[in-house]
Structure 1
Amino acid sequence: MILRIYLRDKDAAYREQKLAALIKETAPIPLTHYIGELEGHHFAITEFMPGISLRDFLLGDVPHDLRAIMTEVGMILSKITAYEFSKSDFLNKDLEVVPYESSDVIKFAQDCLNNRTVVSVLSPEMIDEIKKAIKQYAYLFSTDDEKHLVHGDFDPANILVDKINDSWVVTGILDWEFAFSGSYLWDVANMLRYAHKMPPEFQNSFIDALQRNAIKLPPDWRTTAHLLNLSSLLDLLKRSDPQRHPSRCADIHELIDHILSELNNMQKIDRVEIKPYDANWPNIFEAEAALIKKALADNCVAIHHVGSTSVPGLAAKPKIDIIAVVRNLVFDKSQLEAIGYKYKGGFNIPLRRSFTIRTADRNINLHVFEENDPEIELNILFRDHLRETPSARDEYALLKYKLIAEESSHEKNNSIYRGYTLGKHDFIQNILKKSGFNKRRFVLCTHHSEWTVAKHFRDTYFFGPNGIEDPYTWTFNHEEHAHLVLYQVTEIVAYAHIQFWPDQRAAIRIIATDENKRNQNSASVFLTLIEKWLRSLGIKSIHAESRQSSLRFYLKNGYTEMPFNDPENHESDPNDVPVGKVL
């Protein structure tokens, strides 16, 4: 049993008691067995829950799987937030929603800025920045339509973990005294307050678990979380004594400074700009094409003007998109750098070499492909369809203007591309169907539809049949892992998960073809493309652990039995056959 004494809110003990009874079957929350009063303070006898706080656990040196723990934390929060009330506001001891004098978050934060302690700890410059942020993002504080159960103090200090059967699991969610009805982003913000000091999987696994459990985070959730944390920190600072708690005040100062820095960085993101068609765009292309052709010399096969600036009458971002077709994708990049281009990699297209120029006179995106790459035909067919079909061209223009009116279109939300680019995906796919494009092409997963299919392949062909939940979704946002899909026209027919190892080696963790598209040579085509891509990156050998049923496929494609030698020493299935290929 645990004795809890409530000093601030006399209703807190009753609120916790009723919440425990309400959601005990959903979340590990301690039951309250008895509530009493002594010397004006309420106290409660509550259930003992084993474990140590997640905060102490993270600060310690106990070996653990952070991804698994944060995935469970996210899953539990998704269940908590599933409870809804009639409206948003604070909860009384009977869990009835009642008005609270400080429920106006903006006014509350502004009042905090006039507090003597806050003024003494924060510089005038910081206070001015906070005021500007509150004014600029005031619309994000409007959460009256949100009426989810909010823990109110959902952070690692109030979460217990314990080792059970050799695995660390969540055993308790404590301290529900501040629970209210509102936006679940309050709890998300609390959990991620120190995320910038944690490994990436702390946030990534937590957010991924929320989204996988039907929590639809809004496009501006990161900004909103920063603002909610800012409000909470101002309240905490207001109630702190700099003389008695100098470390706490210093910590709050550091956190607020970090939030302001993050908000400032978000504001620096260039907004997508759409301009009416400019008849000079083809002239800019012609001049640039001559420079590129000369720089690439004999390696150059053809140069094409593509993208929206190549379609007369189409509004576009004022950036000229150019495709250079070369005989060999391995070439001296200094040839293009000498005329002002900067190399940018391939983004989501593995066998592309992308370059840009960003000057007052030259705003160019150059895409270099090896001859016969299907991306060349794709871009030309899309361009020609828009040139020849005014209705499609005008529909595309309307879509662009609609997208730039949405704030999320100007942001990158866990993607290499902005929402604007991702928002055009379905339209482009539809045009490709009409244009007669019929090639197979592979890309790195970028669009949410590609990630959805990737998860489907993993669950359907690997983890689902074994009755387990995919434990490796953290690899979706990790530099040592790549996730690719193979398109047949606009339909995804295969998926692969590649891990990069030291010593110029790579491993095929998963490669799978849609069972309805097998016996069409897609898997072999996909594997050949992946090998070509890895070879271009300097990878010397590729490895896999083949099921007996897949061994023939690997042998047919030139693989031989070869030690797997996993540098991470993951346990192998004794029935699998280690195979490999020197690239």
Structure 2
Amino acid sequence: MHADEVLSVAEAMGQDVVAVSPLAGGLSHETSLISLADGQVVARVGGPDPEIEAAVMAAGRRRVPVPEVLWVGRPGRRPVMVVEYVEGTLLSHVLAEWAEALGELGVEVGRVVAEIGAVSFERPGFFVDESLDPRWERPWSRQLPEVAEACMASTSRLDARTRRAWVDLCVAHAPALRGIDEQARLVHADINPKNILVTRAGGTWRVDAVLDWEFAYSGCPYGDAANMVRFGDDYPAEFVAGRRSGFADGAPDAPEDWEYVGWVLDMFALSDLVTRPPGNAIADQAAALIRDRVTGGVTWPG
């Protein structure tokens, strides 16, 4: 963080800053842990629109644990969001190091992901301001082939044959989205183990916080369920199975093919991810998934 940004946080919190240390952050922002005279807060610097994200987080807090937003300001050329510090361990660390009760953990995570989708709006679309009145352009079933075509035209991470095959695959599966085109529920859109804090206490797992809401929109929550296990081959099988069970129980109105629909929705994200600059590890993983799917190397659910 720049000195003027730290000073702005101190003024907003009405306390002296004792220390500032970096935390792992997203691609579009810088995250720091700030120690104040009587506690700690987390500052997020950058990002597309923290005012909208703050409003989304307030909406999400109605159903799931979300850090409270303490202040949003624009002290310089970069916006700053300050949120409460939440104790907990990143789910990604737990999955890499823990070996017990991972099925139970998956159930709890799946339940919380389903609860995000319990927040509803008047229409689907992307949020354009803090009112969270979504802008609805055209159905997802029509957008998917267009997005895939545009993304494949702007990436060199995949060979020409694979790019064409991926667009064709998106065209073939896009009709599956017609049944959910008009759903208007809260979608986190970046729900993965790096954005969830958990704790094991009293013999049970608890989700302490869902982080990083900058990509949230109004749509169908089955995409979040697929996002959660996009790279599921890297996770313990019992966690993946528990996540599936927990989401299904938490979304009793979901159709039988909800998991398949989620996979189709995730084709938006995979298409976009491979357009990232060279050297991006997540984009390389997304490219590998696309290759597997166009060659039939994976089994689609449903």
Same fold, judged at TM 0.5 (above): yes
2:77 match: 40
Instruction: Please state how far the C-alpha of 1:246 moved relative to its aligned partner.
Output: 5.2
Cα distance in 1 for residues equivalent to 2:99 and 2:282: 29
Q: Tell me the distance in 1 between the aligned counterparts of 2:213 and 2:295.
A: 31
SS in 1 for 2:285: helix
Counterpart Cα distance in 2 of 1:227 and 1:2: 35
Uncovered stretches (5+) of structure 2, i.e. residues with no partner: 1-40
Which residue does 2:197 correspond to in 1?
160
Partner of 2:64: 27
Are residue 250 (structure 1) and residue 250 (structure 2) matched? no
Residue 146 (structure 1) shift: 0.9
Q: Which amino acid aligns with 1:6?
A: G
Cα drift, residue 206 of structure 1 = 1.4
Work out whether residues 51 and 161 of structure 1, in 8 Å CA contact, stay in contact via their aligned partners in 2: yes
Matched ranges for 1:438-517 at <5 A: none
- Identify the residue that residue 10 of structure 2 maps to in structure 1: none
* Counterpart-to-counterpart distance in 2, 1:262 and 1:53: 33
Deviation at residue 195 of structure 1 after TM alignment: 1.6
8 Å contact from structure 1 (residues 147, 182) kept in 2: yes
- 1:221 Cα shift? 3.3
Name the CA shift for 1:259/1:196 in 2 (closer, same or farther; >3 Å).
Answer: farther
For the 8 Å contact 1:85–1:148, the answer to whether it is kept is: yes
Residues of 1 paired with 2:220 and 2:246: CA distance?
Answer: 18
Is the contact between residue 88 and residue 197 of structure 2 (CA under 8 Å) also seen in structure 1? yes
- Show the 5 A alignment for 1:229-240: 229-238=266-275, 240=276
Equivalent residue for 2:109, pick from 73, 94, 97: 73
- On the 8 A contact 1:20/1:29 being kept in 2, the answer is yes
Q: Secondary structure at 2:123's aligned position in 1?
A: coil
Higher relative contact order (CA 8 A, sep 6+): 2
Instruction: Pick closer, same or farther for the CA change 1:148–1:194 going to 2, 3 Å.
Output: same
| Closer, same or farther: CA 20–241 of 1 in aligned 2, 3 Å | closer
Give 1:109's aligned amino acid: A
Q: CA deviation at 1:80?
A: 1.6
Counterpart of 2:151 (choices 96, 103, 112) is 112
1:82 maps to 2:82: no
2:106 partner letter: M
Tell me: CA distance 1:37–1:194, structure 2 relative to 1, closer, same or farther (3 Å).
Answer: same
Separation (CA, whole Å) in 2 of partners of 1:173 and 1:203? 18
Distance 2:241 2:54 in 1: 33
User: Matched residue pairs, number?
Assistant: 258
1:123 deviates by 1.6
- C-alpha displacement at 1:164, in angstroms? 2.4
Question: Deviations along 1:239-277, whole A, 9 cap, x unmatched?
Answer: x221xx2544432222222333458755xxxxxxxxxxx
- 1:257-336 alignment to 2 at 5 Å? 257-262=291-296, 265=299
**Alignment check: 8 A CA contact 2:222 2:261 kept:** yes
The answer on whether the counterparts of 2:195 and 2:212 sit within 8 Å (CA) in structure 1 is yes
1:94 aligns with 2:154: no
C-alpha distance after superposition, 1:355-395 (max 9, x if no partner): xxxxxxxxxxxxxxxxxxxxxxxxxxxxxxxxxxxxxxxxx
Q: Contact 1:211–1:217 at 8 Å: present in 2 too?
A: yes
Shift of 1:137: 1.2
Instruction: Letter of the 2:241 partner, please give it.
Output: N
Structure 2 residue corresponding to 1:144, chosen from 158, 163, 181: 181
Identity, % of aligned positions: 24
Q: Give the partner amino acid of 1:259.
A: R
Measure the CA separation in 2 of the matches of 1:219 and 1:57: 30
Aligned to 2:6: none
1:141 is displaced (CA, Å) by 3.2
1:205 deviates by 1.4
Q: What residue in structure 1 maps to residue 9 of structure 2?
A: none
Deviation (angstroms), 1:25: 4.5
Quick check: 1:90–1:100 contact (8 Å CA) kept in 2? no
| Alignment-derived partner of residue 5 in structure 1 | 45
Q: Taking structure 1 as reference, are residues 227 and 262 closer, same or farther at Cα in structure 2, changes over 3 Å only?
A: farther
Distance between the aligned counterparts of 1:111 and 1:255, measured in 2? 18
TM-score with structure 1 length normalisation?
Answer: 0.41
Partner of 2:217: 180
What do the CA deviations read for 1:189-236 (whole angstroms, capped 9, x no partner)? 110201233333222211212222343433443433333323212212
Contact kept, 8 Å, 1:72 with 1:170, in 2: the verdict is yes
- Secondary structure of 2:79's counterpart equals strand
Distance of 2:158 and 2:194 partners within structure 1:
26
RMSD: 2.4
CA, structure 1 residues 155+94, in 2 after alignment: closer, same or farther (shift >3 Å)? same
TM-score norm. by structure 2 comes to 0.77
Q: 1:183 to 1:49 in 2, by over 3 A?
A: same
Between the aligned partners of 1:263 and 1:228, the Cα distance in structure 2 is 19
Unpaired stretches in structure 1, ≥5 consecutive residues: 267-411, 414-583
Q: Tell me: CA distance 1:222–1:263, structure 2 relative to 1, closer, same or farther (3 Å).
A: farther
Aligned to 2:53: 16
In 1, are the aligned partners of 2:144 and 2:170 still within 8 Å (CA)?
no
Listed as ranges, the matches of 1:221-236 within 5 Å are: 221-236=258-273
Q: Which has the larger radius of gyration?
A: 1
Q: Is the 8 A contact 2:174 2:264 kept in 1?
A: no
SS at match of 1:160: strand
